[in-house]
Amino acid sequence: MKTSLSAPVADKQPLQCKAHGTKWIDDYAWLRADNWQQAMKTPQTLPEPIKRLLQQENEYFSKVMADTETLQQQLIAEMRGRILEDEDSIPDKDGPYEYSYRYIKDAEHPIYLRKKPGSEKEQITLDINHEAKDHDYFDHDLVEHSPDHKHMLWSRDTTGAEYYCASIRDLDTGKDSQYTIDDVDTAAWADNTTLFYTRVDDNHRPNRVFRHTLGDDPALDRLVYEEHDARFYCSVYPSASKSFIFISTGMNDQDEVWYIPTDNAQSPPVIIEPRSDEVEYSVEHQNDRFLILTNADNAIDFKIVETPVHAPARANWKDLIPHRQGSMLRSLEVYENWFLFFVVENALPKICYSNNDDNIRSISFQEEAYALSMTTGYEFNANTIRFTYASPTTPDQTYEYNLENSKRVLLKQQIIPSGHDSNNYITRRITATSHDDAEVPVTLLYHKDTVIDGSAPCLLYGYGSYGSSIPADFSGNRLSLVDRGFVYAIAHVRGGQEKGRSWYEEAKFGKKINSFYDFIAAGETLISEGYTAQGKITIEGGSAGGLLVGAVLNMRPGLFGGAIADVPFVDVLNTILDDTLPLTPGEWSQWGNPIESEQAFNDIRAYSPYDNVTAQAYPPILVTAGVSDPRVTYWEPAKWVAKLRDTKTDDNVLLLKTNMSSGHFGKTGRFAELEDSALSYVFAIRVAQEFSVQ
């Protein structure tokens, strides 16, 4: 995939860097604007030379991809045709009301509703389409009604920088409070007039918890908790019983939880168990006890313990669901008479539950690969849950499940308006053997008419960081590739938790390279088993998945026909050396601290994609970025592209598309975001066709 068009060339402004006695030159460090914090909130303030280069890259991208516009629009139409435009959520009862949301034809955003059970009369509590109409970017986050159903807290971000502004709406009048609360991250109602919320600081770190009284000036809000360790982030959430507000502060491998009783919201928080190295825990409340999901006492795949509310410290923790290696406990939910937990074994999920006896029941399925999610309702005394089942071939099926008699009722089946026959598609789960004999699960989706003889193009997706597992779920968008003969593959590489906590631990610190070898092994296995051929695989990953893409491109560029790196975390060494950036201190428990540790410095430097670009041929690459992105700052992909252009020996296309008015998650709105998917798929299709722009 080549072009005769001239690509932008970034200026070199050599900056000498030094750490642990090692010196190196960074030619493109100037792309990190000195006013990056201001530019994140107000992109127009980006320094002119940087802005000019990003705009030149966007213009080059538009010219190279101009003749794919028709195909992009065709893909968008196909994807939109799989979305039910008029759709209601399943109502969720809370006392005198049922709460739900609705999408209507041509609307990008949901409308939030409520009504009294049995009544046909609905009240619109919040119309996001109305709120978003004057904004190019609009993302809403919190939508939380008060216990007495008279008020609603809701928040929105209009830049993509993830600084959310919150308002409190009077649900009788439909009007918002005259004041707003800025920079809100999480929030929870304690009672009808008291809110607790976390606020991010100038470095975009949620490190303070405030208490707000309805009607008061937010400037008078009482600081309840402040986290002074920059590695830790705070959040607040209510117990399912609504008896407590929990303040959780934690990082990747360490937690600390405090509680405040909601019947005495003015009281100071009480600690459950002080933080200690590598001990993680989260807390729920049931009657006279706290239930805790934890990895304490070497429970690497986690266990559930109980402890008295009046004496919650670790010394009093008693095993309720003991640790079982290889059976990863992912989450804990609680009702008054039940507790439920989510388990993953060998990359397959199941839901387990008990009514506090020794009989543990479970919900699971028999497909080779599938996804499950579970939701509990507002009402603490319930005996039913909802779960959603899906697979790469099967659209979402939402069931109500009776915990007392194990009966399930199908409440909702995802409708594909343009039509979908699951029998036309095949889902497989295969295994790739990595460099150290680790067995890597790979989920496949392809059309039944696709010939498996090595001739099919393939899109191989991966992530592999932070313990985040990729579910084998349904995506209508993917069908636009699969219907064109692609094999869609997901490599469940180390760094996720698909095979238990050890699957994550084996890709931390100096072991991060295992993720890259796993991904390469997945590609090689797809080739050896005839699903595709060398040079026919386009790889894709976003954020830390972009690190995966960048690293394997340096290691094995000839294995792949193309690459898509979405907001990629590729300037790893410089970012983790910069403790002023929003996420950096909290990242040290994932990658190591290269400021203090020479070993961590050497480990990161050995694989950081930006630092390991070499004079070799790379396949065609599409890179995306967002100026307002606080997670992967825009200069990481911009620097990487500049260095690749200057260093690589091929003439394959290298494209950088920067969204000048959004952040990490691209465009907002259920239809607008299809443009990003269509762009990636068009690029993959062009790679498969070896299309040339002349």
| Nearest CA-CA partner of 282 in 298, 293, 271, 273 | 293
∠ CA 603-607-611 to the nearest 5 degrees?
110
Helix (H/G/I), strand (E/B), else coil: 573: helix
Tell me how far the alpha carbon of residue 122 is from its chain's centroid: 33
Q: Specify the residue for token string 């100071």.
A: 268
Those residues with Cβ within 8 angstroms of residue 98's Cβ, 6 or more apart along the chain or in another chain: 91, 92, 114, 115, 116, 117
- CA distances for 154 relative to 131, 201, 377, 666, angstroms: 11, 20, 19, 21
- The burial of 416, by beta-carbon neighbours within 10 Å (0-12 exposed, 13-18 middle, 19 or more buried), is given as middle
In the residue annotation, 248 being an active-site residue is answered as: no
Which one is catalytic: 26, 127, 473, 629? Answer: 629
Distance CA 162, CA 158 (A): 8
- CA distances for 103 relative to 389, 414, 416, 671, angstroms: 22, 14, 15, 12
Which one is catalytic: 664, 676, 677, 680? Answer: 664
- The burial of 662, by beta-carbon neighbours within 10 Å (0-12 exposed, 13-18 middle, 19 or more buried), is given as buried
* Tokens (6 digits) for 172: 């009788």
Q: Are the C-beta atoms of 610 and 643 separated by less than 8 Å? A: yes
Q: Are the C-beta atoms of 492 and 469 separated by less than 8 Å? A: yes
Q: Are the C-beta atoms of 103 and 87 separated by less than 8 Å? A: yes
Q: Are the C-beta atoms of 98 and 116 separated by less than 8 Å? A: yes
Task: Provide the 8-state DSSP code for 476.
Answer: T
* Tokens (6 digits) for 286: 């049931």
Task: Provide the 8-state DSSP code for 44.
Answer: G
What value does the CA radius of gyration of the chain take, rounded to a whole number of Å? 25
Q: What's at 179, amino acid-wise?
A: Y
In the residue annotation, 629 being an active-site residue is answered as: yes
* Tokens (6 digits) for 537: 């695989």
Q: Are the C-beta atoms of 634 and 626 separated by less than 8 Å? A: yes
- The burial of 49, by beta-carbon neighbours within 10 Å (0-12 exposed, 13-18 middle, 19 or more buried), is given as middle
Which one is catalytic: 146, 515, 543, 628? Answer: 543
Distance CA 291, CA 331 (A): 12
Rounded to 10 degrees, the C-alpha dihedral 365/367/370/374 comes to -10
Active site amino acids? 543, 629, 664
